Chains A and B, each alone.
Chain A
Amino acid sequence: MSLPELDQRDDDELIGTILAAAGRQDLEAMAAAAAEVSEMTRNWATHIPWDEFDSLDETALNEVVADLTQMWEPVDLQVDADEEYALDKNAYDFYRPAGRNLMTRTEEFHGWVEARRRTETWQYSRTLEAAPNSIAQITNDIGRRTRGINFNSQDYLSFNTHPAIREAATRAMRDYGPHSAGSPMVLGNTRISDELEASLGELVRAEQVTLFPTGWAAGFGAMAGLVRQEDHVLIDRLAHSCLQQGARATTRNVVRYEHLNVEAVRRHLVDIRRRDSRNGILVVTDGLFSVDADWPDLVTLQRVCREHDATLLVDVAHDLGSMGPGGTGVLGLQEVLGDIDIVMGAFSKTFCSNGGFVASASPALKQYLKMFGGSHFFSNALSPVQTAVVLEASKIIRSAEGDLLRSRLHSAVTALRDELTGHGLTCMGEPSPIVPLLIGNEKLARIANRLLFDRGVLAFMVEFPVTPTGSSRFRLQVQANHEPEEARAAARIIADAITDARTYLSSAFGSTER
């Protein structure tokens, strides 16, 4: 580069000159200005015939003008501002609002929610018009109704319509009324609560069971009860929200380890134990992961924990009852029943009710959690109806009928996964009641979700904060009442909706992970 470059006119001015000359059809002036245009720009815009301006015919001249204008003028955007705003943001963008007024500073987020609602891309807060079976009738958040094959409810063994479950609920209602009328530490439990604890203890082979009013309360309460400020938590980075929040609430010593990576856990344990031989370490993982449908190697994980004086907590909310021999879930599949330090679960997926539990072999741990877990002591107990329903569910789960229901569930899962895969789509994880259908890009997922609403399939689209940015998906939750043909029909509809959404957005991205 030689100094005279400095004295040359900027490309901006030159291209302005060229376009003005083109307007007058003054080809010579165009050519003269073109000769001064920087090498940088000439080599960039290789589609412009810079050296041939003096011999352009009319078509070529028009093309040059169009190409230069396109390069040089800002695009006048004609976009649907609402839709752009709705598709562009993530919930996290609103997590730290500005201002000291706690009330008014929530308004910006609300504005975004309203844009999502107006553009029918808000997948949350739908309501049911009747009991959710394999087909459901629902209303979305702006009052529009639809009916469709239902993968939007979590009721893996279809207990919500099961006569024996309904009968148990009615009986409890008659015997005890709708209200538990107290904390389980005071007088909120009934005889069936004790029966339920015993039944769950047998199912997971850890007889010291504590009940919680929700699954979330069980996960959070277990961590709040056990972990203190100087202790450490090693948590799978995709573990459930109640566990992540439990970790954050109890200690600053939190390590989020790579999903399922037991070797990473071992390295972190070695590292922590090198620095700290005094305090406790809780290692936390899900059994079946709720939006990934995979599970860790619990045999190795538990062994590694014991080698470093760490305690393992496994959340079996999604797998217990719905998978594994006799409904024992991932623990049964891996033959570690009775061998895991702490088992935590929720009733809301398979057991047909709110509620959760924490189980171990230790009566001391049980009493300690009841006292210090917070969400056990300071919440009302499960209602008698809930308790009776879960108890009845746990009996069916362990019976021959449970095996039959699980095999029907599995057939529907296989049909759904096979058909989706056959359409070139990616089902994540392993066959389980959760079929995560990978989409990736949030915009694509939100549009596909909008299209699907009117096409007879109900599915929950998960995005940030449930999944990492750029990794959105449909979480399809299958039920024993789904017929395989129903699942296949749904898969075809979903595949079409995704194709149409891709066309709508003119997107060429696929959904392979990397």
Chain B
Amino acid sequence: MPRYDAIVIGARCAGASTGMLLARQGHRVLVLDRSSFPSDVISTHFLWPHGTSYLNRWGLLDQVLAVTPSHTEVTFVNDGIPLTGSVPDELLRAYFRDWHGDDSGVVRTYASVRRHVLDQMLVEAASKAGAEVRTNFTVRELITEGDQVVGVRGRDSDGQLVEERARIVIGADGRNSFVARTLGLPKFDERPRCTFAYWSYYSGFDLGPAQLHRRGRLACAVAPTNHDQNMVLVWGPSEWSREFRRDVSGNFQRALDFVSPELGEVVRTQGVRAERVYGTLDQSAFLRPLAGPGWVLVGDAESAKDQCTAIGMTHAFRGAELVADALGRWFSGDVSLEAAMASYEGRRRSQNAAAYYDYVCTLAEMRPYRHDELQLFVALRGNQQEIDRFVATHADVAPVSEFFQASNLLLLNDAAKETSAGYPVFEDYPGTARMYQQNLFA
């Protein structure tokens, strides 16, 4: 009998949560991470309401919200057409019943929480639950017997070479997963088109709830986060990244001014930047195999998507509950490992999951909104129930198929309370669409 039931590689959103949940079930869990905590990592660090609901279900939300601002309403402004909404309680409850069989702990607030704040709390929660957490531990090898992964070999914080064995090794180590690379796992459904994203942290203004703006092929967002600061993020199509990069801070402001002159003005005149500007375009989407002999992946390691819907952490939490539940049933002898993994895979590779994956990947191509889509945003104005359902769909609370369904879309058009008359984007749409194709940074 190996010393541990599970070794979790990676102690951030997916890993610490999985370790914590398994430890709470009474299993012997070892959680390893090469970093020490608190520490930061590239992240949009946004938790949609189901994300905060997971924290609440696990008893961690109060601690997070004690130092993190949270709101319920979010505003999308697409080519000047504003929509403000929130994720409805009933859709959140339906989500949790559907995914996890119970709807306890549902909250409607979202939060933007820095990773050096959140990950530390998750690691502490895993420890407190009884998982053994070793930080500054670099995994160097997977130990295998035949094709079965049976443990890990690596250097601990003292530089000692250490070997540990478990019934299962869980790769929760992000899109550049060591586990996946070592096992030589292929990637599926690859979508090379993605966004480039640049962001930093500003004090000096308070705009209330989060705003997401989109114009042409560029977007920006501002969300209040820890330390009385705002995360300000701009993103655009990866094809434009080379030109953007020639002058990061200048183009950062240029993008803000283009997408939302009002927000650009606030950042320029009131914003005090607290950190350097960070950036990434390592965001192309893919799936990997979920599980194999002695190993299973969770979080970005098994499926990474572009940041443009800021869903990564929430999906990592969802994956943690799913995989902890599946493994728990195996540990307790209720089902075989194969059956447990098949149920995990069924959920993660479902038709609804595919539809949302397509939704994100298409959005990440950052093509200008089509005339149709803009008309839909106008049609939604004043229809609060459907705006809320749109927000829930965008955040992957409600299935894409229920909103993007022919009779629903036609009915939305019929129910429109506003016309396109008040929105300049419609004045010369073909001309505007051509202008949008020009690289702003060229």
Decide if B411 touches A438 in the complex (CB within 8 Å): no
Q: Which residues of A contact B354 (CB under 8 A)?
A: 440-441, 470, 509
Q: Is B164 an interface residue (CB 8 A)?
A: no
Q: Is A97 an interface residue (CB 8 A)?
A: yes
Q: Is B238 an interface residue (CB 8 A)?
A: yes
Within 8 A of B (CB), among A1-60: 1, 3, 5-12, 38-41, 43-47
Q: Is A244 an interface residue (CB 8 A)?
A: yes
CB closest residue in chain B, given A1: B275
Given contacts A244-B407, A466-B406, A510-B350, 17 further A-B contacts (CB under 8 A): A6-B275, A12-B248, A39-B40, A45-B282, A70-B282, A90-B404, A92-B404, A92-B409, A95-B409, A98-B426, A241-B407, A252-B414, A254-B411, A256-B407, A469-B355, A471-B355, A509-B349
CB closest residue in chain A, given B186: A506
Query: Could you write out 10 A-B pairs with CB less than 8 Å apart?
Result: A1-B40, A6-B276, A40-B43, A41-B278, A44-B282, A90-B404, A98-B430, A99-B430, A244-B410, A471-B351
The one of A7, A241, A514 that contacts B347, using a Cβ cutoff of 8 Å: A514
Decide if B239 touches A74 in the complex (CB within 8 Å): yes
Decide if A12 touches B245 in the complex (CB within 8 Å): yes
A19 to chain B minimum Cβ distance, whole angstroms, is: 13
Q: Is A372 an interface residue (CB 8 A)?
A: no
Decide if B357 touches A5 in the complex (CB within 8 Å): no
The one of A10, A248, A464 that contacts B277, using a Cβ cutoff of 8 Å: A10
Q: What per-residue 1/0 map shows which CB atoms of A70-91 lie under 8 Å from chain B?
A: 1111110100000000001010
Given A1-B274, A508-B349, verify A441-B287 contact (CB < 8 Å). no
The one of A47, A71, A509 that contacts B181, using a Cβ cutoff of 8 Å: A47
- Which of A43, A92, A237 has the largest number of chain B CB atoms within 10 A? A43
Binding site for B on A (CB under 8 A): 1, 3, 5-12, 38-41, 43-47, 70-75, 77, 88, 90, 92-99, 237, 241, 244, 248, 252, 254, 256, 438, 440-443, 464-466, 468-471, 505-514
The one of A10, A248, A442 that contacts B276, using a Cβ cutoff of 8 Å: A10
The one of B34, B273, B284 that contacts A46, using a Cβ cutoff of 8 Å: B34
Decide if A11 touches B278 in the complex (CB within 8 Å): yes
Within 8 A of A (CB), among B90-123: 98, 116
B296 to chain A minimum Cβ distance, whole angstroms, is: 15
Within 8 A of A (CB), among B312-360: 345-347, 349-358
Decide if B401 touches A471 in the complex (CB within 8 Å): yes
Decide if A44 touches B178 in the complex (CB within 8 Å): no
Q: Which residues of B contact A92 (CB under 8 A)?
A: 372, 404, 406, 409
The one of B370, B404, B429 that contacts A469, using a Cβ cutoff of 8 Å: B404
Decide if B276 touches A470 in the complex (CB within 8 Å): no
A353 to chain B minimum Cβ distance, whole angstroms, is: 27
Q: CA A454 – CA B142 in complex, angstroms?
A: 46
Using a Cβ–Cβ cut-off of 8 Å, how many residues does chain B contribute to the interface with A? 83
CB closest residue in chain B, given A90: B404
Q: CA A252 – CA B417 in complex, angstroms?
A: 12
CB closest residue in chain A, given B99: A514
Q: Which residues of A contact B274 (CB under 8 A)?
A: 1, 3, 5-6
Q: Is B263 an interface residue (CB 8 A)?
A: no
Decide if A74 touches B289 in the complex (CB within 8 Å): no
Q: CA A476 – CA B241 in complex, angstroms?
A: 47
B133 to chain A minimum Cβ distance, whole angstroms, is: 16
Within 8 A of A (CB), among B165-195: 173-174, 176, 178, 181, 187-190, 192-193
Decide if B349 touches A510 in the complex (CB within 8 Å): yes
Q: Which residues of B contact A509 (CB under 8 A)?
A: 189, 287, 349-351, 353-354, 357
Q: Which residues of A contact B239 (CB under 8 A)?
A: 74
Q: CA A41 – CA B401 in complex, angstroms?
A: 36
The one of B174, B188, B346, B347 that contacts A44, using a Cβ cutoff of 8 Å: B174
A94 to chain B minimum Cβ distance, whole angstroms, is: 7
Q: CA A466 – CA B401 in complex, angstroms?
A: 12
Q: Which residues of B contact A71 (CB under 8 A)?
A: 280-282
Q: Which residues of B contact A248 (CB under 8 A)?
A: 410-411, 414
Decide if B372 touches A95 in the complex (CB within 8 Å): yes
Q: Is B128 an interface residue (CB 8 A)?
A: no
Q: Which residues of B contact A244 (CB under 8 A)?
A: 406-407, 410
Decide if B174 touches A512 in the complex (CB within 8 Å): no
Q: Is B160 an interface residue (CB 8 A)?
A: no
Q: Is B402 an interface residue (CB 8 A)?
A: yes
CB closest residue in chain B, given A502: B188
- Which of B353, B415, B429 has the largest number of chain A CB atoms within 10 A? B353
Given A44-B282, A92-B372, verify A77-B193 contact (CB < 8 Å). yes
Decide if A75 touches B284 in the complex (CB within 8 Å): yes
A309 to chain B minimum Cβ distance, whole angstroms, is: 24
Decide if A98 touches B429 in the complex (CB within 8 Å): yes
B400 to chain A minimum Cβ distance, whole angstroms, is: 5
Q: CA A74 – CA B245 in complex, angstroms?
A: 12
Decide if B278 touches A38 in the complex (CB within 8 Å): yes
Q: CA A12 – CA B414 in complex, angstroms?
A: 48
A389 to chain B minimum Cβ distance, whole angstroms, is: 32
Q: What per-residue 1/0 map shows which CB atoms of B381-415 lie under 8 Å from chain A?
A: 00000000000000000011110111111110111
Q: CA A440 – CA B43 in complex, angstroms?
A: 30
Q: CA A248 – CA B400 in complex, angstroms?
A: 23
Q: Which residues of B contact A438 (CB under 8 A)?
A: 351
Q: Is B63 an interface residue (CB 8 A)?
A: no
Decide if A11 touches B279 in the complex (CB within 8 Å): yes
CB closest residue in chain A, given B413: A96
Q: Which residues of B contact A468 (CB under 8 A)?
A: 400-402, 404-406
Decide if A441 touches B276 in the complex (CB within 8 Å): no
CB closest residue in chain B, given A471: B401
Q: What per-residue 1/0 map shows which CB atoms of B40-69 lie under 8 Å from chain A?
A: 111100000000000000000000000000
CB closest residue in chain B, given A510: B349
The one of B116, B174, B399, B408 that contacts A256, using a Cβ cutoff of 8 Å: B408
CB closest residue in chain B, given A71: B282
Q: CA A40 – CA B35 in complex, angstroms?
A: 11
CB closest residue in chain B, given A49: B138
B255 to chain A minimum Cβ distance, whole angstroms, is: 15
Q: Which residues of A contact B415 (CB under 8 A)?
A: 252
Q: Is B270 an interface residue (CB 8 A)?
A: no
Decide if B277 touches A40 in the complex (CB within 8 Å): no
Q: CA A335 – CA B115 in complex, angstroms?
A: 61
- Which of B282, B354, B370 has the largest number of chain A CB atoms within 10 A? B354
- Please provide the 4 A-B residue pairs with the shortest distance between their CB atoms, ordered closest to farther: A470-B355, A465-B406, A440-B351, A468-B401
Q: CA A465 – CA B400 in complex, angstroms?
A: 14
Decide if B188 touches A506 in the complex (CB within 8 Å): yes
B20 to chain A minimum Cβ distance, whole angstroms, is: 20
Q: CA A389 – CA B261 in complex, angstroms?
A: 68
B86 to chain A minimum Cβ distance, whole angstroms, is: 22
Q: CA A114 – CA B188 in complex, angstroms?
A: 29
Q: CA A256 – CA B353 in complex, angstroms?
A: 24
Decide if A513 touches B282 in the complex (CB within 8 Å): no
- Which of B349, B400, B407, B413 has the largest number of chain A CB atoms within 10 A? B407
Given A470-B352, A510-B350, verify A44-B42 contact (CB < 8 Å). yes
Decide if B411 touches A75 in the complex (CB within 8 Å): no
Q: CA A46 – CA B12 in complex, angstroms?
A: 13
Decide if B409 touches A98 in the complex (CB within 8 Å): no
Q: Which residues of B contact A237 (CB under 8 A)?
A: 405, 407-408
Q: Which residues of A contact B34 (CB under 8 A)?
A: 46
Q: Which residues of A contact B248 (CB under 8 A)?
A: 10, 12
Q: Which residues of B contact A74 (CB under 8 A)?
A: 196, 238-239, 241-242, 281
Given A47-B178, A507-B188, A514-B98, verify A469-B276 contact (CB < 8 Å). no
Decide if A44 touches B429 in the complex (CB within 8 Å): no
Decide if B178 touches A441 in the complex (CB within 8 Å): no
- Which of A46, A93, A96, A513 has the largest number of chain B CB atoms within 10 A? A46
Decide if B176 touches A464 in the complex (CB within 8 Å): no
Given A43-B39, A99-B429, A471-B351, verify A38-B276 contact (CB < 8 Å). yes
Q: Which residues of B contact A90 (CB under 8 A)?
A: 404
CB closest residue in chain A, given B351: A440
Decide if A40 touches B351 in the complex (CB within 8 Å): no
Q: Which residues of A contact B284 (CB under 8 A)?
A: 75
